[in-house]
Amino acid sequence: MTSYVNTLRQMATIQCDIAENAVNYLDKNATVFATIDVEAKIVVFPPLMLIRAQLIQLDVAEIRLLLPLLRELIKFDRHAIEYMGDPDLLRAAALELSGAAQDSARGIVTALESRVDPAYFRTYDSWQGETADAYRRIAELQPENLKALLTPINTISDVLHSVAQGIEDFYVALAGAAISLAKVVVDLVVAIIGAATAGTGIGIAIAALGVVGAVMDIGTALIAVGTVFLQSQHDNEDQLVKLGPSLPGEWRKPPVGDGPPGS
């Protein structure tokens, strides 16, 4: 896979690692929280999709209660990272359809439209008889059968492009979410270390609020991009479902003789 989705995936993975290391650090150094004597309270309202809905009121000393929430979010990100997909492969297939396949189909239509036209079809003048008439009647139907190919080819190509774009949009949002997550968790660590040395917990409260806000933003962003992707794929699915009935039932074939008598 060569798509930049792979780069985004790696980026998101690294950011998740950074966030997870920071959370682990906070967990291991939980006793530091108890030594900081600061009056600061924050309210956490976790996004519904990420964790059970509840209000948590925290003292700065209890800030480690945020850690399960962060772990859930990191776990969710890591799970989403594994969705993958291959936009480059989908786009290559789409280009084959909209390029070479479409050209071939149009080429036949153009060629046949001119050749079955009485003005151009060479055998119109020279080949006479009932069989020739029957042959020509059926031959004149062929351009329409061929034209029927053009819409499905275009639709499939458009759908492939759309899925590729949807996957990339999803990963852009996911990588952005992972970066935000890593940043706020690291900020929290920095604030706690600063508070432990400077004796003030204001920085922690601000950083903790940053974490809470970011968690909500990330959850909202991921829900939004997931919803857009889902709706887009439903639309794509509908377009494909409608293709089946758009194709003519069958190609009529001409009568075929068996050569000269006695051959």
Partner 1 sequence: MSSNYERTITGDVDDLRSDADEVWDPARDRLLEVRGKLPTDLPASAFSFIPGADGVYRELALSCESLTKYVGDGEIAMHAFRDAVLWAALDIIGTEQSVQDDIVAIREQLNS
Tell me how far apart the alpha carbons of residues 175 and 181 are, in angstroms, rounded to a whole number: 10
118 near partner 1, judged by CB under 8 A = no
Encoding tokens for residue 173? Answer: 């949002």
> Least separation, in Å, of the C-beta of 90 and partner 1?
6
Residues that bind partner 1 (rule: CB under 8 A) add up to a total of: 75
Among 38, 13, 12, CA closest to 208? 38
If you ran DSSP here, which 8-state letter would residue 118 be given? T
Pairs from 231-239 (Cβ < 8 Å, separation ≥ 24): 232/162, 232/166, 233/163, 233/166, 235/162, 236/159, 236/162, 236/163, 239/155, 239/158, 239/159
Per CB under 8 A, does 158 bind partner 1?
Answer: no
Choice between 33 and 229, CB closer to partner 1 = 229
Residue 76 CB partners (closer than 8 Å, separation 6+) = 50, 222
Cα–Cα distance for residue pair 38/205, rounded to 1 Å: 9
Residue 43, H or E segment: strand 41-44
In the bound state with partner 1, the residue whose beta carbon lies nearer, of 167 and 188, is: 167
How far apart (Å, rounded) are the C-alpha atoms in residues 66 and 60?
A: 10
Q: If binding is defined by CB under 8 A, does position 67 make contact with partner 1? A: no
List binders of partner 1 among 188-217 (CB under 8 A): none
How far apart CA 69 and CA 73 sit, in angstroms, is 6
Q: Which CB, 1 or 198, lies closer to partner 1? A: 1
Contact status: 55 vs partner 1 (CB under 8 A): no
- Contacting residue, 71, 121, 189, 216, with partner 1 by CB under 8 A: 121
Of positions 42, 153, 175, 195, contacts partner 1 by CB under 8 A: 153
Site for partner 1 in 212-241 (CB under 8 A): 226, 229-230, 232-234, 236-237, 240-241
Nearest CA among 17, 47, 42, 7 for reference residue 224: 47
How far apart, in whole angstroms, are the C-alpha atoms of residue 175 and residue 8? 6
Which C-beta is closer to partner 1: that of 132 or that of 202?
132
- Nearest CB to partner 1, comparing residues 39 and 82: 82
Q: Does 108 bind partner 1 (CB under 8 A)?
A: yes
Are the C-beta atoms of residues 159 and 98 closer than 8 Å to each other?
Answer: no
The yes or no reply on residue 151 touching partner 1 (CB under 8 A) is no
Site for partner 1 in 70-89 (CB under 8 A): 80, 82-86, 89
257 near partner 1, judged by CB under 8 A: yes
Q: Which of 118, 129 has the CB closer to partner 1?
A: 129
Minimum CB distance to partner 1 smaller for 41 or for 234 = 234
What letter represents residue 58's amino acid?
L
User: Which 166-185 residues touch partner 1, going by CB under 8 A?
Assistant: 166-167, 170
